[in-house]
Amino acid sequence: MSAKLIWLTGLSGSGKTTIARELHKKLVKNKLNVIHLDGDAIREINGHDLGFCNKDRLANAWRIHRFALYLIKQNINVVCSTISLFHEIHKANRNKFQKYYEILVDCEKEELFRRNQKELYSKFEKNKTQNLAGFDQKVEFPLNPDLVITNNIKDYLTINVDKVIKLIND
C-alpha cells in the first residue's frame, strides 16, 4: 500500500490550511500515518529565505514537493496546503506520486478581501504590498483537479473535509 499525497491549492485566505488541518485530524483519528505540510510552515522551517516573487514561490513549491516525496517514500500520507499555483508543480506531482489527489480550494475574491487573512488584501488595496498571487501576480490554477471545493462559506468546513475524504477513499 503506497501513501497518498493530498495537495490542497488555492489563493491565500481561500481556506486551504483550515481544511487541511481538519482533514489531518480526521485521518489521524482513523489511525492513518499522516502529516500536514503547510506552505507557510515550510517557509518558516527554512528560515524565511525566500520572498514572494514567482521565482521564490516556485522554489518553495519545489521544496514542498521534495519534502512530500521524502515522506511518501517512508509510507507517510501527506496532506499539503500550499498556494503553489504552477502547472509545472502539478505535472511533477502527477508524474511522481502514485496516489496523488489535487484539490483546488476556490473562493470568490470578495470573500478573500472580507476574510483578509494576514492583512494581505487590505495592504494590497492600499498599494502597501505587491506579489499577491492571483491579483498582481499570475497564477496557474490546476488544469484538471480531482476536486474543486468552493469555499465561500466558513460553516461548510465539515462538508468540505468529507468531500476530500470521499475522494481519497474511492
- The catalytic residues are 84
Q: Are 14 and 107 in contact (CB under 8 A)?
A: yes
- Whole-angstrom distance, CA of residue 97 vs CA of residue 56: 23
- Whole-angstrom distance, CA of residue 52 vs CA of residue 129: 11
What are the residues whose beta carbons fall under 8 Å from the beta carbon of 97, sequence distance 6 or more?
Answer: 5, 68, 69, 72
Q: Are 59 and 83 in contact (CB under 8 A)?
A: no
